[in-house]
Amino acid sequence: MVQKKMFLSNMICNTYQYILMSSLMSLVFILLTSDVHAGSVGTNQEEIEMGRRIYMEGISTSGVPLKAERQGAVQLEGVAAACETCHRRSGMGSLEGNIHVMPIAGHYLFDTQENRPLALLDTREAKNVTRAHAPYSEESLAKAIREGVNVSGREMNLVMPHYAMNDSDIKALSAYLKQLSDDLSPGVEEDSLHLATIITPDVDPKKADVMVKMLEKAFEQRNATQEVHSGRMRSPLDLLPRKLRNWDLSVWELKGQPETWGGQLETYYSKMPVFAVLSGISVTTWAPISQFCEQKKLPCLLPNIPLPPSEKSYYSVYFSNGVSLEANVLAKQLRSDDKKVSKRIVQIYSDDEIGRGASKVLKDTFQESDLVVENRVLTDSDASKTKELLKGLSNNDVLVLWLKPKDLMKLTKLMGKNSPDKIYVSGILSDENYSFVTKATKPHVRVIYPYELGSNRAKNMAMMKQWLKSWQIPLVDEPFQAEVFFDALLMTELSSQMLDNLYRDYLIERAEDMLSVGSNVSAYPHLSLSRGQRLASKGAYIARISNDGKLVSESDWLVP
Query: What whole-number distance in Å separates Cα of residue 207 and Cα of residue 280?
Result: 10
Interface region with ligand HEC, contact rule CB under 6 A, candidates 149-157, 405-413, 430-438, 508-516: 149-157
Instruction: Compute the least distance from the CB of residue 88 to ligand HEC, in Å.
Output: 10
- The type of residue at 514 is M
Q: Is 116 in the site for ligand HEC (CB under 6 A)?
A: no
CB under 8 Å, gap of 24 or more: what pairs does 131-140 form? 135/109, 135/110, 135/111, 136/109, 136/110, 138/170, 138/171, 138/174
- Min. distance of Cβ 281 from ligand HEC in angstroms? 40
Candidates 60, 61, 150, 316; binder of ligand HEC (CB under 6 A) is 150
Q: Which stretch binds ligand HEC (CB under 6 A): 157-165, 376-384, 388-396, 431-439?
A: 157-165
Stretch near ligand HEC under the rule CB under 6 A, chosen from 42-50, 152-160, 201-209, 364-372: 152-160
* 95 is a site residue for ligand HEC (CB under 6 A): no
Residue in 53, 87, 222, 422 binding ligand HEC, rule: CB under 6 A: 87
Q: How far is CA 160 from CA 72, 81, 84, 130, 157, in A?
A: 10, 10, 12, 17, 6
Q: Is residue 287 a contact point for ligand HEC (CB under 6 A)?
A: no
User: Taking CB under 6 A as the rule, does residue 173 contact ligand HEC?
Assistant: yes
Name which position in 24, 95, 159, 415 contacts ligand HEC (CB under 6 A).
159
Q: Tell me the per-residue interface mask from 4 to 43 with ligand HEC, x by CB under 6 A, - otherwise.
A: ----------------------------------------
- Dihedral of the alpha carbons of 188, 192, 194, 195, in degrees to the nearest 10: 110
From the list 13, 24, 56, 86, which residue makes contact with ligand HEC (rule: CB under 6 A)?
86
Q: How far from the centroid of its chain's Cα atoms is residue 108's Cα?
A: 28
Site string for ligand HEC, 454-483 (x = CB under 6 A): ------------------------------
| CA 347/CA 328 separation, integer angstroms | 14
Q: Which residue in the set 106, 117, 161, 525 belongs to the binding site for ligand HEC (CB under 6 A)?
A: 161
State which residue, 109 or 129, has the beta carbon closest to ligand HEC. Answer: 109
Residue 144 CB, nearest approach to ligand HEC (Å): 4
Is residue 94 near ligand HEC by the rule CB under 6 A?
no
Does 105 engage in binding with ligand HEC (CB under 6 A)? no
Q: Which is nearer to ligand HEC, 54 or 523 (CB)?
A: 54
* Region of 144-152, 190-198, 207-215, 440-448 interacting with ligand HEC (CB under 6 A): 144-152
Which span sits near ligand HEC by CB under 6 A: 113-121, 151-159, 223-231, 376-384?
Answer: 151-159
Stretch that binds ligand HEC, among 16-24, 35-43, 95-103, 394-402 (CB under 6 A): 95-103
CA distance 25 to 213: 32
Taking the least distance from each CB to ligand HEC, the nearer of 99 and 476 is 99
Which residue in 163, 252, 318, 449 binds ligand HEC (CB under 6 A)? 163
Inter-residue contact 522 to 490 (CB < 8 Å): no
Kindly tell me which residue out of 59, 121, 144, 215 binds ligand HEC, with binding defined by CB under 6 A. 144
Among candidate residues 560, 535, 119, 97, the one with its CA nearest the CA of residue 361: 560
CA dist 199 and 27 (Å) reads 41
User: Does the protein bind ligand HEC through residue 194 (CB under 6 A)?
Assistant: no
Question: Residue 523: which residues within 8 A CB-CB, separation 6 or more?
Answer: 451, 452, 457, 460, 461, 478, 479, 482, 483
Asked if residue 176 lies in contact with residue 51, where contact means CB atoms within 8 angstroms, the answer is yes
How many residues make contact with ligand HEC (CB under 6 A)?
A: 24
Q: Which long-range contacts (CB under 8 A, 24 or more apart) does 338-341 make?
A: 341/371, 341/398
Q: Which residue from 96, 91, 117, 113 is spatially nearest to 174, judged by alpha carbons?
A: 91
CA–CA distance, 265 with 268 (Å, rounded to integer): 5
How far apart CA 187 and CA 334 sit, in angstroms, is: 48
Toward ligand HEC, which CB reaches closer, 16 or 163? 163
Neighbouring CB atoms inside 10 A of 266's CB total: 13
Nearest in space to 540 (alpha carbons), one of 409, 448, 472, 408: 448
Closest residue by beta carbon to ligand HEC: 83
In whole angstroms, give the CA distance from residue 145 to residue 139. Answer: 10
Which of 133, 410 has the CB closer to ligand HEC? 133
In the complex, least distance from residue 280 CB atom to ligand HEC, rounded to whole angstroms = 35
For residue 480, the minimal CB distance to ligand HEC (Å) is: 40
Q: Cβ of 372: how many Cβ atoms within 10 Å?
A: 13
Per CB under 6 A, 149 contacts ligand HEC = no
Q: Are 497 and 237 in contact (CB under 8 A)?
A: yes
In the complex with ligand HEC, the residue whose CB is nearer, 70 or 232, is 70
CA dist 203 and 168 (Å) reads 55
* Least gap, CB of 110 to ligand HEC (angstroms): 10
- Cβ pair 468, 480 in contact under 8 A: no
Binding residue for ligand HEC (CB under 6 A) from 50, 105, 142, 145?
Answer: 145
Binder to ligand HEC among 8, 50, 160, 327 (CB under 6 A)? 160
Q: Is 56 in the site for ligand HEC (CB under 6 A)?
A: no
Q: Which is nearer to ligand HEC, 91 or 299 (CB)?
A: 91
Distance CA 492, CA 425 (A): 35
Nearest to 252 by CA among 288, 280, 218, 225: 280
Check if the beta carbon of residue 184 is closer than 8 Å to that of residue 495: no
Residues 466 and 486 sit within 8 Å (Cβ to Cβ): no
Query: Contact at 8 Å (CB) between 377 and 407?
Result: no
Told to check if 118 binds ligand HEC by CB under 6 A, we report: no
Q: What does the binding site for ligand HEC look like in residue numbers (CB under 6 A)?
A: 54, 70, 83, 85-87, 99, 101-102, 104, 109, 133, 141, 144-145, 150-151, 156-157, 159-161, 163, 173
